Amino acid sequence: MKAFEPTLFEKSRPGRRATMPPETDCPQVQPEEVLPVGMLRQAPPALPELSELDVLRHFTRLSQLNFSVDTHFYPLGSCTMKYNPRVNEKAATLPGFAAIHPLAPESTVQGALALMHSLQDCLAEVTGMDAISLQPSAGAHGEITALFMISRYFQDKGENRTRVLVPDSSHGTNPASAALAGFEVVTIPSNAEGGVDLEALRANLDSTVACLMLTNPSTLGLFETGIEEIARLVHEAGGLLYYDGANMNALMGLVRPGDMGFDLVHLNLHKTFSTPHGGGGPGAGPVGARGELVHYLPGPCVVQDGETFRTEVPRHSIGRVRTFWGNFLVLVRAYAYIRTHGSQGLQDVSQAAVLSANYMRVRLQERFDLPYQGTCMHEFVLSARNLKAERGIRATDVAKRLLDFGFHAPTVYFPLIVEEALMIEPTETESLETLDSFIEAMLTLAEEEPQTLHDAPHTRPVGRLDETQAARKPVLIWPE
């Protein structure tokens, strides 16, 4: 393989052309005739000039430098890199979904509104919530949406609650969202079993606490067994319980956040509901709420009036959190996924995800440390601390060496409470043979010469990159 693929800008040649837009048959006007002089573009934007084949080859070659679910196993903890069914992709390209305008009269988009309404119902049922808003564009966007709702809710109740509690094992988005929503963030330590330390929780619960943000199963992959007590304590203090749905893949059809006592949830449709990650997005982060909180959901939501669907802003809505209705084509895919599975199918998904994770856990804990013992849910967290102590092999070395074996790395150095963390989530769609070959790779590399790991990856188009240099003297665009 070539050392690198030149950028579009290096390949550009003046005057080279690819596909051109259609020509209108309306009389041509020139910018100078219409636009104010001070607003006329002086020099055309320096976009690259290429042929269509140039462009296709460029991006095909770039694609070949990537790992992806379709080509490699991605045991990324908390990311749920499951198979992305292609029928869902086909659904998203139907012109009746892809070519409709978001501001078309509601009477002309009844199919889209019906789909959204049904998806709202399905997600409310899966989570045990009373209502869902499909507006948030990603998990973190869902988090901040829910925090805005919480803020407004307490404001309306005349309560001055300024603090949000997050466990020390929480996703980084939790404290970041809480801070952005104007709350003071308080970190609650974990106990020896990896659960929320109830003493620390009690000590921090008072009339200034707005909510506790919790992932269950936790980022350690463990079910929070004290959840009933936690819910009771938080509610007794007048606070709310927020469910970070990143790990919902473990629990579908088995336990519902609403039944555990959660008041608000977000889901990651790009995790649990199989919509593709796209190299970093788009996702979708619908938010659900129970009781009075449903009136605070961002609007508009889709409601049904007899045979007709229309949009409506909830009574005390916090307002919009994005343009238009949501990441609609992501919603189409998630709806297709849910309709493919039904109740039993979703339950089977969660059970298989948990079985696969436990199988890998027992096989790998023979050689790697498992700081938090016991049956896991859909993921588990190993530590490379023993390898580091014995042989100087760190989690990052394991991650990079796995690339040479043809596996994407697990999530590393997260959660922060595990030293040299390797967080592994196999998902339900990987075969036993794939799990076994990954396990074998892990056991093999653990015995390799440490230098082989330090120098890894050896088989990728580039080796470890100089991130310090990249940050010290950032080059973020190709110079003109």
Partner 1 sequence: MSYLPHTRADQEHMLQAVGVSCQEDLFASIPPGLRLGRDLCLPPALAEHDLLEHLGQLAARNQVAGRSSFLGAGAYRHFVPSLVETVTSRSEFLTAYTPYQAEASQGTLQAIFEFQTMICRLTGMDVANASVYDGGTAATDAVLMALAQTRRSKVLVSRGVHPHARQILSTYLAAGGGVVEELPLREGRTEVPQVGSDVAAVVIQVPNFLGLVEDGPGLCQAARQAGALAIVAVNDPVSLAVLEAPGAYGADLVCGEAQPIGLPLSFGGPYVGFLAARKELLRRMPGRLVGLTADGQGRRGFCLTLQAREQHIRREKASSNICSNQGLCALAVTVNLALLGPEGLRRAALGSMSASAFARERLARVPGFSLAFSGPSFHEFVLRCPVPPEQILEGLAERGILGGHALGREYPELADSLLVCCTESTRRRDVEELALELEALVQAPVEVTR
Out of 73, 120, 148, 211, point to the residue binding partner 1 (CB under 8 A). 148
Which parts of 164-203 interact with partner 1 (CB under 8 A)? 171-173, 175-182, 185
Q: What are phi and psi of 244, to 5 degrees?
A: -80, 110
Query: Residue 110 or 444: which CB sits closer to partner 1?
Result: 110
For position 318 contacting partner 1 by CB under 8 A, the verdict is yes
- Please tell me whether residue 400 binds partner 1 under the rule CB under 8 A: yes
CB 386 → partner 1: shortest distance, Å? 22
Residue pointed to by tokens 């100087």: 392
Question: What is the Cα–Cα distance from 140 to 163, expressed in whole angstroms?
Answer: 18
The set of long-range contacts for 451-455, using a CB threshold of 8 Å and a minimum separation of 24, is: 452/401, 453/393, 453/397, 453/398, 453/400, 453/401, 454/392, 454/397
Instruction: Report the residue number, 239 or 326, with the smaller CB distance to partner 1.
Output: 326
Least Cβ distance, residue 172 to partner 1 (angstroms): 4
Beta-sheet pairing, 184-188 with 287-289: unpaired
Binding to partner 1 by residue 49, rule CB under 8 A?
yes
CB-nearer residue toward partner 1: 38 or 306: 38
* Out of 221, 253, 286, 314, the residue judged to bind partner 1 by CB under 8 A: 253
Give the separation between CA 297 and CA 317, rounded to whole angstroms: 5
Residue choice 211, 214, 220, 222 for contact with partner 1 (CB under 8 A): 222
Give 72's DSSP letter. Answer: S
Applying CB under 8 A, among 198, 303, 403, 443 the residue interacting with partner 1 is 403
Q: Shortest distance, CB of residue 163 to partner 1, whole angstroms?
A: 12
Structure tokens at 86: 């292609």
What is the pattern of x (binds partner 1, CB under 8 A) and - over residues 257-286? --xx-------x-x-----xxxxxxxx-x-
1 binds partner 1 (CB under 8 A): no
- The interface mask with partner 1, positions 361-390, x = CB under 8 A, is xxx----------xx---------------
d(CA 242, CA 381): 23
Is residue 17 packed enough to be buried (19+ CB in 10 Å), middle (13-18) or exposed (0-12)?
exposed
Length of the chain: 480
Kindly state whether residue 292 participates in binding partner 1, applying the rule CB under 8 A: no
Show the site string, 77-116: x = touches partner 1 by CB under 8 A, - = not: --x-xxxxx-x-xxx-xxxxxxxxxxxxx-xxxxxx-xx-
Give 25 or 305: the residue with its C-beta nearer to partner 1: 25
Bond preceding residue 282 cis, omega within 30 of 0:
yes
Of 222, 197, 158, nearest to 354 (Cα)? 222
Q: Which of residues 17-36 bind partner 1 (CB under 8 A)?
A: 17-31, 34-36
Burial of 249 (0-12, 13-18, 19+ CB in 10 A): buried
Task: Quote the CA–CA distance of 255 and 317 in Å, as a whole number.
Answer: 28
Minimum gap (Å) between residue 382 Cβ and partner 1: 16
- 158 sits near partner 1 (criterion: CB under 8 A): no
